Amino acid sequence: MEEITSNFIHEIIDADLASGVNSTVHTRFPPEPNGYLHIGSAKAIWINYTTAKKYGGKFNLRYDDTNPAKEDNEYVESIYKDLIWLGAVPNGGVFYGSDYFDKCYEFAVKLIKDGKAYVCDLSADELRDYRGTLTEPGRESPYRNRSVEENLDLFERMKNGEFPDGSRTLRAKIDMASPNINMRDPAIYRIVHTSHHRQGNKWCIYPLYDYAHPIQDALEGITYSLCSLEFENHRPLYEWVIDNIGFDPKPKQREFARLNVTHVVMSKRYLRKLVETGLVDGWDDPRMPTLCGLRRRGYTPESIFEFIRRTGVSKGNSLVAIEQLEACIRDELNETAERRIAVLSPIKVVITNYPEDKTEYFEISNNPQDPRAGTRKLPFTRELYIDSDDFSENPPPKFFRMKEGGEVRLMGAYIVRCNEIIKDKDGKITEIRCTADIKTSNGNPLDGRKIKGTIHWLSAKYSEKTTVKLYDKLFTIENTADIPDEKTYDDYLNPKSVVAIEECMIEKSLSEAKEGERFQFVRTGYFCKDIKNKNTFNRIVTLKDGSGKKF
């Protein structure tokens, strides 16, 4: 098993194991099935999965499906697919929060009988008013001292559907003067007359997360409930539920800083809006921070987990540059991706001293970083394509690519001299005519002259057309948390986040590439075959860090 670097969570576990507080490690990942997982979810998955793995323990997937109005089986299936794709197999099992609705109800009745919960008739607005503020204590509900018998009767009638949505809640009886607002008699059940995606219409009352989650953890034997930092102030309530229901052994909640990435929005509500309004091509649009979007873009599970590993596990919030994620996939693909040639903006080149009916083949390395990848033969003919960026009529100083009267090497093949430029009536270049130094077949000139430039090329006869999509950051603002109150995320959508180029030329073999297969397009970037559009390649990342780019 690969070494898993220690962090403050592991130090807590080490101390617990040494003192006998726990003898095993059992973690869980509890996503709500109301959207697709994103790069931030990957951190929670990685922490819980690798922690269990390090200690030879178990890792559960548990769907937090306690809010039926927003949940759908589509999201249930996508979450499991993403988890398996990442390699985080839930060896402890797959569970649903709704599996425990009967138990949650049973324990709520216990709390009522123990005088620790009551039915409250305050409306949502009244509840907020009674709750108090960070500087002022809350006020007790006028329904707080109902008898146990009345509370049991009302709670059962809530379950039986006698009351409308929002008319009553079941609240834990804790302390309305607590400095922690979460402990001021929080609601633990609410009325929701909505069909559940798994339970149907069996229930019209649903437990709230802060109540249901510790119960689920305890029933599954979770030893460490590892969650993001916003739940730190909820920990006392988590422990209150565990203590007052009487669970033993007790799961332990510990918190870590969330993953915040530049130029990325992780609000599922907003991501859903992008999908529903058609601003992106679904949840798996390659510009989306969703795991399915990153998968379609061409990212690998290894690169995502390596990114999480590099960012580390801490209690301090920070903003991580998206270029670090790009560096992880770039480093991986530099070692593993086979090289292929694509000409994104083709100009025809005619080698006038080369026979029209001749084809010869030059041997090209599939990956200079990996000799085991072998070589392939690239056909060379009289008519070729080069990229328009590799030619200039008015070249700037130190331009070492193709220019009139100048020489340049065709990668792996001949040195050619540009002799003539052919244009149409509108002044557009239609053809460049060159002569090849036939004695330089993948070698140096015999007279010792130095050729500084090398460009890539393709045979016009043995290449295919394709569409290439160049993806960039979806948002122009670096820190999406810094958007002013008068602005919205929409104001910072990058109009150049995707550029489609439809007349690209590629090696013929690329037309047979498998969906999702990744390549380095020589001198251009890393690309993968799109999983939705048969004849499209998506740019995963550029060859070099583009962090200095301005919008």
Share of the chain above pLDDT 90, in %: 93
Q: Taking all residues of the chain, what is their mean pLDDT, rounded to a whole number?
A: 95
CATH of domain 342-456: 2.40.240.10
Token readout for 1 is 């098993």
CA distance 280 to 35: 15
Residue 186 has pLDDT above 90, yes or no: yes
Share of the chain above pLDDT 70, in %: 98
Mean pLDDT check: name the lowest of 27-41, 213-227, 247-261, 430-444.
Answer: 430-444
Prediction pTM value? 0.93
Give tens-digit pLDDT for 300-340: 999 999 999 999 999 998 999 999 999 999 999 999 999 99
pLDDT at 534: 87
Residues belonging to the active site: 32, 258, 268
CA distance 138 to 132: 4
Residue 260's pLDDT band (boundaries 50, 70, 90)? Answer: very high
Give tens-digit pLDDT for 389-429: 999 999 999 899 999 999 999 999 999 999 999 999 999 99
Residue 1's pLDDT band (boundaries 50, 70, 90)? Answer: very low
Residue 4's pLDDT band (boundaries 50, 70, 90)? Answer: confident
pLDDT at 130: 97
Residue 26 has pLDDT above 90, yes or no: yes
Give tens-digit pLDDT for 104-142: 999 999 999 999 999 999 999 999 999 999 999 999 999
Give the mean model confidence (pLDDT) for residues 291-299: 98
CA distance 33 to 75: 5
pLDDT at 550: 39
Domains in the chain: boundaries? 8-256, 263-296+315-338+467-542, 342-456
Torsion of the alpha carbons at 16, 19, 20 and 21, rounded to the nearest 10: -40
Q: Do domains 263-296+315-338+467-542 and 342-456 have the same CATH topology?
A: yes
Give tens-digit pLDDT for 500-523: 999 999 999 999 999 999 999 999
Residue 269 has pLDDT above 90, yes or no: yes
Residue 275 has pLDDT above 90, yes or no: yes
SS (H, E, C) 223-292: CEEEEEHHHHHHHHHHHHHHHHHCCCCCCEEEEECCCEECCCCCCHHHHHHHHHCCCCCCCCCCCCCEHH
Residue 49 has pLDDT above 80, yes or no: yes
CA distance 462 to 508: 6
CATH of domain 263-296+315-338+467-542: 2.40.240.10
Residues shown for the chain? 551
Sheet of 463-471, strands arranged across: 338-340, 518-521, 525-529, 536-542, 463-471, 498-507, 342-343
Give tens-digit pLDDT for 218-255: 999 999 999 999 999 999 999 999 999 999 999 999 99
CATH of domain 8-256: 3.40.50.620
Give tens-digit pLDDT for 517-545: 999 999 999 999 999 998 999 999 999 87
Q: Give the closest residue to 460 by CA, choosing from 351, 383, 380, 357.
A: 383
pLDDT at 2: 60
Q: Give the closest residue to 262 by CA, choosing from 39, 38, 478, 483.
A: 478
Give the mean model confidence (pLDDT) for residues 435-459: 87
pLDDT at 546: 61
